[in-house]
Amino acid sequence: MRNFPAWSPGYRMKNNDFFKGRVAWITGASSGIGEALVYGFAERGAIVVASSNDPSGLERVKNNCSGNSERVFCVPFDLAEMSGINKTVESQVEKLGRIDFLLNLGGISQRARIDETPLWLDRKIFEINYFGTIALTKAVLPHMIRQQSGHVLATSSISGRFGFPLRSAYSASKQALHGFFETLYLENKKNNIRSSVIIPGRVRTAISIHALNAEGKEHGRLDDGQAGGITPEKAAEIIIRGIIKDKREILVGKGELMLLHIRRYLPWLFFRIADKIKST
């Protein structure tokens, strides 16, 4: 085995103690990638605050952390209704002493054309994906500044890097996260706080099932693209590795990630093909 110097990412990756005893707050923890991250952090000895809007789903995830479940705390709240979030964060900090990682995974997708999406639905998707995420982040940030350490992650999407059919509000809400979290990084380097954006392609989760249609109801089916994606466990491994390596952007997926490079370096090709890619 290669010997890495103690300060290097390689050393930290080999060193299982990287997350031991550290406090990680994970939203979207009742399902999919967030759920897999709860297991990944708990296995590595972290103390986990698990959040979503589904108390029984969170309890199920906690109970699945056999042997580690006493280190998992369920804190349910609705990302669309964040008026009490400062108090919620303060009570967790009082209990656990600190927050080392904030992983914002909670989010909702969309399956509706622009011309059929009412404005209230655009607002709802933004409320959950953007405003809910930044409200929690703003509540946690002062504690990280006080600690002079921390790592905050937001979850975008490949369609947070370009427009995509049936995802107008979803894509826009995810693009907004890049602006916010890059600014957070630049403003807080001096406070020893890191910020990263997770950019998944296709991961086999319930995201397409819960995606909202033009009436604001669930799309209700696992899209073909989603079904062919990587597993949430694999996605969690990639994200954990990205955190240890302190990557600013963590790409998660397989061949579909090529679209990011096509959009960036061959935009004419992107605009020729993107509407032909099977999107449901």
Q: Which residues bind ligand NAP (CB under 6 A)?
A: 28-34, 52-54, 57, 78-80, 105-109, 128, 155, 157, 200, 202-203, 205-207, 210, 226, 229
Is the CB of 47 or the CB of 153 nearer to ligand NAP? 153
- Catalytic: 170? yes
Shortest distance (Å) from residue 115 CB to ligand NAP? 23
Shortest distance (Å) from residue 244 CB to ligand NAP? 20
Rounded CA separation 45/236 (Å): 15
- Residue 176 — φ and ψ, nearest 5°? -60, -35
One-letter amino acid identity for 181? Answer: F
Is the CB of 12 or the CB of 140 nearer to ligand NAP? 140
Is the CB of 12 or the CB of 161 nearer to ligand NAP? 161
Is the CB of 68 or the CB of 157 nearer to ligand NAP? 157
Instruction: Choose the catalytic residue: 11, 39, 170, 265.
Output: 170
Residue whose beta carbon is closest to ligand NAP: 32
Alpha helices for the chain (secondary structure H): 9-14, 32-43, 55-64, 85-96, 119-126, 133-147, 168-188, 207-210, 224-227, 232-244, 258-265, 267-273
* Alpha-carbon distances of 127 from 104, 107, 110, 157, 182, rounded to whole Å: 14, 10, 13, 17, 20
Residues known to be catalytic: 170
